Structure 1
Amino acid sequence: MIQNAKVNLSEIATEMDNPDTASIDELSTIDMLKIINNEDKKVAAAVETALPIICQVIDVTAKHLRQGGRLFYIGAGTSGRLGILDAVECPPTFGTEPGLVQGIIAGGYDAIFRAVEGAEDSTELSIKDLKERGFTNNDVLVGIAASGRTPYTLSALQYGKELGAVTVSITCSPASPMEKIADYAIVVQPGPEVITGSTRLKAGTAQKLVLNMLSTGAMIKLGKVYGHLMVDVKASNSKLTERAISIVMKAACCDRSTAQTALDESGGNAKLAIFHIISGKSIVESKKLLEAADGYIGKALRHSMKNHNQ
């Protein structure tokens, strides 16, 4: 069981003083912004150093999702909100079921909008939250915490590990307890914050970039992208409907009328419409071929062409 211990801020990289921002309160607005912008520039370079481990996480996540598992993000405060943000964007962007990628925050729904006192210090609450969602060893658990020491998130990773699930940590301070527990430890070190300890800044940006990579990379691996187009986009509003038409036109190199007709026939399924137009197969046959190719348009087209030439 994870024991709460007194936090020593001197051991946490994100709590260090930043000499480059020591007098930021005395600067003109434009000079203040230049400093913030210069600090932000350090984030992408810090994420780059973690690409090898991020690559491994994407591959193992895609494997588990393909086998019926789910992806869970869990964290407190800013970290928890970032996980929720990434999770809720997956259904409209990639056409996933809402339960495939889930974000859990310490304190529940109310904590999305305001701090829930004491929630992040609970070592039992995260386990309860995971159990309520039926978390299993076939799922992937990503714990997010800038310090790598948040009790709520730390206990979640410990619980996931005890179940035999894949556990991942995303932290911004090296040699943290979360890093030591997780199967895959993503450590991104953007350096001290502009405002000491305000990890919604550089650390939050770093976490967001990593989460973008994890979900996007996994979805690409699942065939939800063709070329650079999000072909599983869910046309749930007028903007996304227009985007679906544009995606079909680009992918299938066709005019708007052809794209619109194919989308109507496919029930708004852009991927199916694209394959139908390019292959010349019926909607029914196109659907069968795509399913046989695990949803990959390119793979289905190659199989279709190979069979045609035989």
Structure 2
Amino acid sequence: MPKLDERGHLLTEQANPKSQHLDQLTTLELVDLFNHEDARTIEAIAQAREPLATAIDLTAKALRQGGRLFYIGAGTSGRLGVLDAAECPPTFCSYPEQVQGILAGGTEALVRSSEGLEDRADDGAAAIDNRQITMLDVVVGITAGGTTPYVHGALQAARQQGATTIFIACVPADQVSAQVDVDIRLLVGPEVLAGSTRLKAGTVTKLALNILSTGVMVQLGKVYGNRMVDVAVTNKKLHDRALRILQDLTDLSREEAGHLLEQSDRSVKLALLMHWTGLGKEAGDQLLADHQGNLRKAVSAVNK
């Protein structure tokens, strides 16, 4: 790992020649430049497709066995991990402990910069210890520039516990190496504003986390077709979405869909199973449990 005062050669710290006159551009030219540079995030995801797929497979396997997924980072990288973790329960009805975000500085660092805390490798290791991470778990270390000691300390501690480790960075491996199970490099090039990794690096990291968590939940049976059948019905918008999913996938009226949803204790997945198989709630619950929550497999078991 480069010394903390020797990072100038890192890809994320270099100056972008296309934006060297940034302060002299018209507003429209500035917007166009950002748009052009942001296109590189899509290319970077395409280049990382294989390690991303491997990360999904390993994480899904771990979660099926009762493991948990942890994102850990500092600053923007850490906040993105916390955001992705926070969105899993309402989207997929996952339990809050299943996907967790760990941010250097804790909750306060979500709204107030505490970047100095990223330099403490021991704090990263302590975060792993505090959450009693084991060989069943997956730890994703996120650091745009690749050098964050907090993240490296956490990954080293996680490896010592036998956990699956994944590294996400926006610098090539020959600039910063990492001893992990899956190494994901999202190479978007120098930022429009030199060194500001909340820009392209932040955007491409969000894209990667979207793919990782959604891909894992698809493999865990949280999705039927392209519908979020495990959506948590916790407000009017999500209640409406649940009814529309039921109507779209069945021949039910909105009123009938609403009645079925209540019969299933507001579980879209269970409601669909009950409708398609004629099973009652308890039998449907048991059938889903027998098939690890996979609706398609549960329906096939009845209709085979």
Which TM-score applies when normalising by structure 2?
Answer: 0.96
1:122 paired with 2:127, answer: no
Alpha-carbon displacement from aligned partner over 1:8-38 (angstroms, at most 9, x marks no partner): 2233111111111111211111111000011
Match of 2:36 in 1: 38
Q: Partner letter of residue 6 of structure 2? A: N
What does residue 258 of structure 2 align with? 260
SS state at 2:252 partner: coil
1:1-310 equivalences in 2 (<5 Å): 5-175=3-173, 179-306=177-304
Contact 2:74 2:115 in 1 (8 A): no
Contact 2:133/2:161 (<8 A) preserved: no
AA aligned opposite 1:162 = Q
Give the Cα separation in 2 of the matches to 1:16 and 1:145.
16
Measured after TM superposition, the shift of residue 177 of structure 1 is 7.6
Query: Distance in 2 between the 1:198 and 1:176 partners?
Result: 21
Work out whether residues 15 and 190 of structure 2, in 8 Å CA contact, stay in contact via their aligned partners in 1. Answer: yes
Alpha carbons 1:157, 1:178 under 8 Å: kept: no
Tell whether the 8 Å contact from 1:126 to 1:156 is kept in structure 2 after alignment. yes
Number of corresponding residues: 304
**Deviation of 1:110 (Å):** 0.9
Take 1:117 and 1:174, find their aligned partners in 2: how far apart are those partners? 23
Read off the aligned partner of 2:242 and give its amino acid letter.
Answer: A
CA-to-aligned-CA distance 1:256-281 (integer Å, 9 cap, x gap): 12211111011111100011112222
| 1:163 Cα deviation after fit | 1.2
Provide closer, same or farther for how the CA distance between residues 77 and 233 of structure 1 changes in structure 2, counting only shifts above 3 A. same
Aligned 8 A contact 2:10 2:175 in 1: no
Distance 1:254 1:197 in 2: 54
Question: What's the TM-score, normalizing by structure 1?
Answer: 0.95
Q: Confirm or deny: 8 A CA contact 1:169 1:178 kept in the other structure.
A: no
Question: Quick one: which amino acid aligns to residue 242 of structure 1?
Answer: D
Give the Å deviation of 1:122: 0.4
Aligned amino acid, residue 57 of structure 1 = A
Gap change, CA 1:70 and 1:81, over 3 Å in 2: same
Given residue 107 of structure 1, which amino acid in structure 2 is its aligned partner? G
Indicate the larger mover: 280-289 or 92-101: 280-289
1:117, distance to aligned residue in structure 2 (A): 4.9
CA distance in 2, matches of 1:297, 1:86: 24
Q: Distance in 2 between matches of 1:94 and 1:48?
A: 25
Unaligned stretches of 5+ in structure 2?
A: none
Mapped to 1, the partners of 2:97 and 2:280 lie a distance apart of 31
8 Å contact from structure 1 (residues 4, 151) kept in 2? no
Moved more, 241-250 or 104-113: 241-250
User: Which whole-Å CA distance do the structure 2 matches of 1:242 and 1:45 have between them?
Assistant: 36
SS for the counterpart of 2:8 is helix
Residues 1:157 and 1:178: Cα distance change in structure 2 (over 3 Å)? farther
Q: Distance in 2 between matches of 1:248 and 1:179?
A: 48
Q: 1:104 aligns to what SS in structure 2? A: strand
Cα deviations across residues 125-168 of structure 1 (Å, max 9, x unaligned)?
Answer: 11222222221121000000011110000111111111111000
CA deviation profile, 1:175-210 (whole Å, cap 9, x unmatched): 268642111100010111010000000000110001
- The one-letter amino acid of 1:290's match is L
Deviations 1:26-62, CA, capped at 9 Å, x for gaps: 1111111000011011111111110111101100100
CA distance in 2, matches of 1:177, 1:100: 33
Amino acid at match of 2:84: D
Unpaired segments of 5 or more residues in structure 1? Answer: none
User: Once the 2 structures are TM-superposed, how far is the Cα of residue 288 of structure 1 from its aligned partner?
Assistant: 1.9
Counterpart of 2:143 in structure 1: which amino acid? A
